[in-house]
Structure 1
Amino acid sequence: MAWDWQVFCKETTTGEVIAGCFGKGGDQTYLNWILSAWGWTLTVALCALVVALVAGLVIGTLRTLQDSPWLVRLANVWVELFRNIPLLVQVFLWYFVLPAIFPVMKDTPSVLLVILALGFFTSARVAEQVRSGIQALPRGQRYAGMALGFSTTQTYRYVLLPMALRIVIPPLTSESMNIVKNSSVAFAVSVAELTFFARQSGEETSQPVQMYLAVTLLYAVSAFAINRIMAWVEKRSRVPGFVAAGGMGEGH
């Protein structure tokens, strides 16, 4: 097998090698293309992560409301629905089925539909982690908020959620890394992200090994960067005196 790493310096339409590997004007090399695809991968992943964190925080909190069983049931339905349907199927539902039911969605960009599908899929997992984090806190914290005259909303806002979010950072790190990898499903609806690039460029150049190796490296770099960022966030937000033991421990 011939290993032609110079393939990234070739122009995508003519196949001519371009000095410097970056196209000029209307020219585009495979290096330009893979960097653009990497940008789309990160865009999809980061936007979906924002959707997942917001929806997951709300749903996870609702699952712990002891005085509102109907809200708990609705939140449980959300989690079970999005957690038990394969991600690729959800992407196809958003792309093919929902626009057929709601014609107003027909002009929605495919990248937005993928972001929503991936975000809601991940939100079910984030919700479970938020619920576990809240329920792992000592009951005395909830009672302390009530004793201070806080409403339920204020107790969650000022007492429970600040602690719970700190102690669920490690599992959220895994979800943040997974969402980058799961963004590869976007290729199924022709979003020009890394997996789409690897498939198309591999066929065009007859050099799939180099293309997939390069894409694999960029996925690994992305996941490692997220891991380091989340590790820094965890270190900066760690609660002094709070020790995790068998899950979560009480503060001193």
Structure 2
Amino acid sequence: MNRKRQMVISLSAALLSGLLVYGVYLLQLRHIRLEETEEIVVPRQFVPAGTILDKGMLTVASIPRGSLDQDMIRRVEDAEGMQTFAPLGGGEPLLGWKISRFPLLPREGEATFQIPREYVKSVSNGLRAGDWASVFVSSELGPSRRLYPEPVVVAAVKTAANMELENPDRSGLQSLVEGDEEQLYASRRDANGSIDSVNLNLTEAQWLALDSACKDGSAKLIIAFEASAFSPNGKEAGQ
């Protein structure tokens, strides 16, 4: 009887010891896996260019540490409130160059160009700084065409007196002097007035294409809201 009890005790001890070893193994394996992966921010689903991101659009995913890129966003809080410069695929890593908090400013490789008045045939009513615009060429020598395959950012809209269209209660110049970029952006978005000229954020190649198309006077630009893009207030452009 004692021998049977000892055998039961021995088997129980061996079983418990095995379970303990297996549990330690699982913990070590989990720790190793955590060390080998990193969490990054990804969109839950497709996000169009020009969309203001909120927490509900984003989640985190784990990727191998070796695949981590320095430009990948690591925290949802760092992307919330940003505007997308390019479409985002669901589940793809969110990269810093695709988003910006102040889309009025030119991105890397871009500059802000004031489009000469003689180059412009028409501008959509209500176009405002921060909107996405499509640029078309209306030519006397050939068919009209879209100048760029992608929309461009409107950096500023100005009156006939070359004054910035902005909120009269707080000028952009005051915000600029105070270093308040958020208020500068807001004052330009709240602008209301008659548009005489438009500033666009363009790459060197985009500006050269625009200048080449219009400098001989045979073609003029039509600057329109981009229907598939979104303005910074989260609504579709033109609404």
- TM-score scaled by length of structure 2: 0.26
- TM-score scaled by length of structure 1: 0.25
The structure with the largest helix share of the pair is 1
The structure with the largest strand share of the pair is 2
